[in-house]
């Protein structure tokens, strides 16, 4: 039976990553409440994950006073088919390949469940709440342990043929330099993500370097982290400044290519590395402008912004997926219903 009343004002939002699952209630104005976190433990199987998640959702709804909700929106690490929720070799959820939690969650909760790719839903959230509300063309790029992305083009989420679109981390920015875990030569992820920053710094250490980075890592180059490199660079460590300058250039090449290809109203960046480089945001915009088409010089700069949603972009996007699907199902209800 299609719903006869307009969809409610709140939704259950889920954000599934390789290590943790976040659950919250999100309102249509984007406000988030009743947050909870559980570990993902993908190796115990998707059925176990779905059962633990359903129990947590029941608890969250109870704490929220059992509000009417539009449904459950799920943002998850992928790749996966958004129509079925079936995972397709997800690198951070390996044991879930070929499976989906959608039917089990719907049965357990008696609520509709909609699933999408986390970065695509982060992009969608940026068009639904916050400073870029109403944007019809928007790219979200997360620069973190990896580099991922989501694309909204002409008002639609770009999913690709099987749900694999948006892998902006694997566009080439520096052929001949570092490779990512997938093995592509000189890609954005392999030359700008957190682990890449640490590897770049470690590879430049020589006995004659004057750097306090190695002291920060307790003398072990393998213990250098991207956070240490960013901190050392901020304190003027020459080796670290060199690494961060190169990373900013790599980010600029990647973001410039995306602007050139898609001409969005906004390109929003998020993730731990983007947050860590916030003080260098002006340099990131300059680097992006250098690698963009002349139209951006004519317009006085590139439309690159840091997300205003912090870690919550995907979580909010999950809720907005539920709102939009519930609304379209409501609009499509048979004409004779009241």
Instruction: Specify the stretch interacting with Zn ion by CB under 5 A; choose among 7-15, 129-137, 178-186, 319-327.
Output: 178-186
- From the list 170, 199, 291, 305, which residue makes contact with Zn ion (rule: CB under 5 A)? 170
CA-based end-to-end distance of the chain:
13
Instruction: Specify the stretch interacting with Zn ion by CB under 5 A; choose among 16-24, 91-99, 172-180, 222-230.
Output: 172-180
Instruction: State phi, psi for 175 to the nearest 5 degrees.
Output: -55, 140
Instruction: Specify the stretch interacting with Zn ion by CB under 5 A; choose among 53-61, 98-106, 183-191, 287-295.
Output: 183-191
Binding-site size for Zn ion (CB under 5 A) equals: 6
In the complex, the smallest distance separating the C-beta of residue 48 from Zn ion, rounded to whole angstroms, is: 31
Q: Is 91 in the site for Zn ion (CB under 5 A)?
A: no
CB atoms within 10 A of CB 39: 11
CB-nearer residue toward Zn ion: 99 or 174:
174
Instruction: Specify the stretch interacting with Zn ion by CB under 5 A; choose among 81-89, 114-122, 126-134, 168-176.
Output: 168-176
Q: Is 182 in the site for Zn ion (CB under 5 A)?
A: yes
Q: In the beta sheet, which residues pair with residue 190?
A: none
- From the list 187, 277, 313, 321, which residue makes contact with Zn ion (rule: CB under 5 A)? 187
Match 């190695």 to its residue by tokens: 214
In the complex, the smallest distance separating the C-beta of residue 167 from Zn ion, rounded to whole angstroms, is: 8
Q: Is 95 in the site for Zn ion (CB under 5 A)?
A: no
> Quick one: which of 202, 142, 156, 176 has its CA closest to 15?
142
Q: Is 184 in the site for Zn ion (CB under 5 A)?
A: yes
CA distance 158 to 150: 8
Q: Is 199 in the site for Zn ion (CB under 5 A)?
A: no
Q: Is 291 in the site for Zn ion (CB under 5 A)?
A: no
Strands 69-76 and 10-16: parallel
In the complex, the smallest distance separating the C-beta of residue 55 from Zn ion, rounded to whole angstroms, is: 37
> Quick one: which of 180, 157, 153 has its CA closest to 169?
180
Strands 147-153 and 156-157: antiparallel
CB-nearer residue toward Zn ion: 85 or 194:
194
Alpha-carbon distances of 44 from 47, 93, 95, rounded to whole Å: 8, 11, 8
In the complex, the smallest distance separating the C-beta of residue 290 from Zn ion, rounded to whole angstroms, is: 22
CA distance 169 to 26: 29
Strands 138-143 and 266-270: parallel
CA distance 164 to 312: 22
Residues 299-328 touching Zn ion, rule: CB under 5 A, are: none
Interaction site with Zn ion (CB under 5 A): 170, 180, 182, 184, 187, 189
């Amino acid at each position: 039976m299609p719903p006869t009343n307009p969809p409610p004002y709140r939704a259950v939002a889920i954000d599934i990553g390789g290590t943790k699952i976040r659950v919250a209630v999100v309102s249509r104005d984007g406000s988030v409440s009743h947050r909870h976190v559980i570990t993902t433990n993908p190796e115990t199987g998707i059925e176990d994950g779905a059962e633990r998640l359903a129990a947590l959702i029941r608890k969250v709804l109870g704490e929220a006073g059992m509000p009417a909700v539009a449904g459950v929106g799920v943002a998850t690490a992928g790749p996966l088919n958004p129509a079925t929720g079936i995972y397709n070799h997800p690198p951070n959820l390996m044991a879930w390949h070929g499976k989906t939690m959608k039917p089990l969650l719907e049965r357990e909760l008696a609520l509709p469940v909609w699933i999408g790719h986390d970065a695509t839903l982060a992009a969608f959230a940026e068009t639904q709440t916050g400073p870029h509300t109403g944007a019809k063309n928007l790219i979200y790029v997360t620069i973190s342990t990896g580099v991922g992305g989501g694309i909204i083009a002409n008002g639609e989420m770009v999913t690709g043929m099987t749900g694999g679109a948006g892998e902006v981390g694997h566009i080439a920015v520096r052929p001949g330099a570092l490779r990512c875990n997938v093995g592509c030569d000189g890609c954005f992820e392999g030359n700008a993500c957190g682990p890449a920053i640490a590897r770049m710094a470690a590879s430049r250490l020589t006995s004659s370097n004057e750097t306090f980075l190695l002291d920060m890592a307790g003398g072990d180059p393998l213990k250098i982290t991207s956070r240490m490199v960013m901190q050392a660079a901020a304190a003027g460590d020459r080796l670290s400044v060199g690494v961060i300058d190169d990373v900013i250039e790599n980010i600029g090449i990647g973001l410039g290519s995306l602007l050139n290809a898609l001409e969005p109203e906004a390109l929003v960046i998020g993730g731990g590395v983007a947050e860590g480089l916030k003080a260098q945001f002006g340099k990131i915009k300059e680097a992006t402008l250098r690698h963009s088409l002349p139209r951006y010089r004519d317009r006085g700069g590139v439309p690159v912004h840091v997300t205003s949603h912090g870690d919550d972009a995907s979580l909010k996007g999950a809720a907005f997926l539920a709102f939009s699907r519930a609304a379209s199902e409501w609009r499509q209800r048979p004409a004779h219903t009241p």
